[in-house]
């Protein structure tokens, strides 16, 4: 995930959270590149594709925009943006925007709040030179929704929620699961035309964040451990009854990341040569501590700061996890695009990435420091042939990699015993992707058809695990996996102001290895991959006649397996979004003014929409060596309910 050329995911767990990014009003372009990421992209976990956002440029003339929205679940949002226009004779122009959003949870008790600021300053000069700096600040308090298993869903449906009111000893109270987070992003892309044949590009970036993903739990005044060390003295627990108190468990993360990717592009006859370097430095401080709550169930500190957390009798922080990871990434790339003939082009390239993690486990125990150093060689090649002005054939082969996330490095303890041993003998996921396709671009009709084949080694499957009560993003090494399929898309514009878009994908996946489980092997060879629907389909349309406008978006997602054994799955489902509006300019005054109504998930299907925490096997299964491997239930995301939002937008 990139914004203005800067990575938006955290370097430790690779997760990106779109609600933290730029407001939609400030986004000029959204691009989804399936398969391999561009060779100059500063990412290490893009084996499945890359999503890139480009912010809107500041306007040449001073002005502004105000959006006011109200809707379902007591939704209230205000957005305001001001553009400076060109500032004197400097050539600079900029914008700054602020938004404030508040809405009740769509199911269960609680509400979300979000404040956001975007800003961008741009200067353009000469023939194509430009430099900009963009800022994005987000401050949010987001509720967690409990994820049911199949039995929970069948028993409670959408009623599977946290409790609205607190009672003594209740760890299921919604305020104990409300996650605050602040983050700040800076991106500074520069493009310089050094000569008629040589260009220089640089994208420097900075990322900082701090937040908490809390949960409800109970602690006793005695019988506690710090890592492998038994605490012989009782701890002080405000509100304890018979030596037990309900507390808020904290999973706090404090991230810092800075980097730059720079490249030179040389046009030399039939060759377009790109060469560049990438450097990235990041730190991630993770602490799982505990905070007291008052008699009404409210935590004394929602952020989980250490100075307000529960301490041991000798003043140390009582923590279930306590670690700091430093990640250094260094990469280089070289590519050549060759115009062999006016119709035939060949692209070749190579990217090398070295990733080093140094970590410190602050818990008492056998593990103190961890270190892992890996290098990935990523060659690629592509060929494209222009049949005529509208038709093109293309084929490519690319490679990608992904390192296991940092959680796998560290030991975890429960009751003083080692329950999960970290390791530095981790293997990177490595993928080889092949694509073959046809593309047609016409005046009113465009379409493409692409056949693909992916092969993964050490496939890192994302999941969520329970670590002492905290739900933590992690990965499972699923071994070798093969995938092949077909992608198709059509864009048809039958008349001015009207468009119809359709896309579909068929995907066949196969696990090539049995899964190692506690000294035995689960017989997963030949099974389908988890969270990989065999069929997906989307149909959308837009209409705008200058006064009335609208859009529709229909999406179908097929069956998804939730375990490596394919012994539990969720069925396919469809969603439908609609939007209608009217341009009010000329009816009231000449200023641009729109009124629109968005209806989200119109059909309101009551479905499970995705796999939250995958399982190895849901049913008890005999391993290859005869061991009975106990099943465990996966958990799922619940498809959201219907919502309607009305927005009044006015430019000035």
Indicate yes or no: pTM above 0.85.
Answer: yes
Q: Would you state the pLDDT for residue 46?
A: 64
Locus of tokens 């070798």: 480
φ/ψ of 6, rounded to 5, equals -105, 140
Please report which confidence band the pLDDT of residue 9 belongs to, taking 50, 70 and 90 as the band edges: confident
Domain spans of the chain, in order of start: 2-477
Give the bridge partners for 327, in sequence order: 282, 357
The yes-or-no verdict on residue 402 having pLDDT over 80 is yes
Side by side, which strands form the sheet with 27-34? 6-7, 2-3, 49-55, 27-34
Q: Which two tokens stand for residue 543?
A: 């209409």
φ/ψ of 642, rounded to 5, equals -65, 145
Q: Would you state the pLDDT for residue 188?
A: 97
- For residue 600, the Cα-to-chain-centroid distance in whole angstroms is 21
Sequence-distant (≥ 6) Cβ neighbours of residue 127 within 8 angstroms: 193
pLDDT digits (tens, 9 = 90+) for 486-538: 999 999 999 999 999 999 999 999 999 999 888 899 999 999 999 999 999 99
600-617: average pLDDT = 95
Q: Of 181-185, 471-475, 600-604, 638-642, give the lowest mean pLDDT range.
A: 471-475
The yes-or-no verdict on residue 461 having pLDDT over 90 is no
The yes-or-no verdict on residue 464 having pLDDT over 80 is no
384, with CB counted inside 10 A (0-12, 13-18, 19+), is: middle
> Given the DSSP bridges, would you call strands 2-3 and 198-212 parallel, antiparallel or unpaired?
unpaired
Rounded CA separation 426/409 (Å): 8
Q: Which two tokens stand for residue 452?
A: 């693909």
The yes-or-no verdict on residue 339 having pLDDT over 80 is yes
The yes-or-no verdict on residue 434 having pLDDT over 90 is yes
φ/ψ of 72, rounded to 5, equals -60, 155
pLDDT digits (tens, 9 = 90+) for 141-158: 999 999 999 999 999 999
The yes-or-no verdict on residue 48 having pLDDT over 70 is no
Rounded CA separation 283/255 (Å): 6
**Percentage with pLDDT > 90 across the chain:** 83
Q: What is the mean pLDDT of the chain?
A: 93
Q: Which two tokens stand for residue 370?
A: 């961890």
The fold of 2-477 is Maltoporin; Chain A (2.40.170)
Q: Would you state the pLDDT for residue 133?
A: 97
> Given the DSSP bridges, would you call strands 49-55 and 2-3 parallel, antiparallel or unpaired?
parallel
Residue among 125, 65, 74, 133 nearest 99 (CA)? 65
């Amino acid at each position: 995930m990139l914004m203005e050329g800067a990575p938006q995911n955290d370097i430790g767990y690779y997760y990106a959270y779109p609600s933290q990014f730029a407001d939609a009003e400030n986004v000029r372009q959204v691009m989804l590149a399936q398969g391999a990421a561009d060779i100059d992209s500063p990412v290490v976990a893009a084996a499945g594709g890359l999503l890139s956002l480009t912010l809107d440029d500041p306007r040449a003339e001073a002005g502004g925009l105000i959006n006011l929205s109200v809707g379902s679940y007591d939704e209230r949002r205000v957005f305001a943006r001001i553009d400076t226009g060109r500032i004197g004779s400097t050539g600079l122009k900029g914008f700054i925007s602020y938004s404030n959003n508040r809405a009740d949870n769509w199911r269960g008790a609680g509400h979300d709040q979000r404040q956001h600021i975007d800003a961008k300053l741009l200067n353009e000069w000469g023939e194509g030179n430009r430099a900009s700096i963009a800022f994005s600040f987000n401050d949010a308090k987001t509720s967690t929704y409990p994820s049911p298993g199949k039995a929970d869903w069948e028993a409670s449906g959408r009623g599977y929620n946290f409790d609205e009111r607190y009672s003594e000893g209740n760890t299921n109270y919604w305020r104990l699961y409300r996650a605050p987070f602040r983050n700040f992003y800076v991106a500074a892309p520069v493009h310089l035309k050094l000569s008629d044949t040589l260009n220089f590009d640089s994208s420097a970036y900075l990322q900082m964040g701090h937040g908490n993903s809390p949960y409800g739990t109970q602690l006793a005044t005695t019988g506690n451990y710090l890592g492998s060390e038994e605490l012989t003295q009782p701890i002080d627990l405000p509100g304890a009854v018979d030596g037990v108190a309900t507390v808020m468990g904290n999973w706090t993360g404090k991230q810092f990341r800075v980097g730059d990717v720079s490249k030179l592009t040389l046009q030399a006859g039939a060759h377009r040569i790109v060469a560049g370097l990438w450097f990235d430095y990041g730190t991630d401080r993770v602490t799982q501590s505990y905070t007291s709550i008052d008699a009404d169930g409210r935590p004394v500190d929602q952020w989980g700061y250490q100075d307000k957390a529960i301490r041991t009798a000798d003043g140390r922080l009582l923590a279930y996890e306590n670690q700091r990871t430093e990640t250094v990434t260094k990469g280089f790339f070289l590519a050549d695009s060759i115009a062999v003939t006016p119709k035939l082009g060949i692209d070749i390239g190579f990217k090398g990435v070295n990733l080093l993690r140094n970590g410190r486990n602050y818990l008492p125990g056998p593990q103190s420091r961890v270190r892992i150093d890996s290098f990935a060689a990523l060659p690629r090649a592509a060929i494209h042939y222009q049949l005529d002005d509208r038709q093109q054939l293309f084929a490519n082969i690319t490679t990608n990699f992904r390192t296991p996330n940092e959680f796998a490095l560290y030991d975890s303890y429960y009751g003083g015993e080692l329950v999960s041993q970290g390791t530095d003998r981790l293997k990177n996921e490595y993928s080889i992707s092949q694509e073959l396709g046809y593309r047609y671009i016409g005046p009113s009709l465009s379409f493409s058809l692409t056949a693909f084949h992916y092969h993964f080694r050490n496939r890192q499957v994302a999941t969520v695990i329970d670590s002492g009560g905290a739900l933590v993003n992690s990965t499972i090494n699923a071994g070798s996996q093969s995938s092949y399929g077909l992608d198709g898309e059509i864009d048809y514009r039958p008349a001015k102001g009207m468009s119809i878009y359709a896309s579909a994908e068929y995907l066949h996946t196969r696990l090539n290895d049995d899964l190692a489980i506690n000294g035995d092997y689960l017989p997963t060879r030949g099974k389908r991959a988890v969270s990989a629907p065999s069929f997906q389909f989307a149909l959308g349309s837009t209409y705008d006649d200058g006064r009335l406008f609208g859009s529709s978006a229909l999406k179908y997602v097929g069956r998804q397996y939730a375990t490596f054994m394919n012994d539990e799955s969720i069925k396919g489902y469809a969603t439908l979004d609609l939007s209608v509006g009217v341009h009010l300019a000329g009816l009231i005054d000449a200023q641009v003014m729109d009124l629109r109504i968005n209806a989200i998930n119109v059909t309101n299907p009551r479905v499970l929409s995705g796999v939250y925490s995958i399982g190895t096997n849901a049913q008890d299964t005999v391993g290859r060596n005869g061991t009975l491997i106990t099943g465990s239930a996966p958990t799922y995301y619940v498809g959201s309910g219907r919502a309607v939002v009305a927005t009044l937008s006015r430019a000035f």
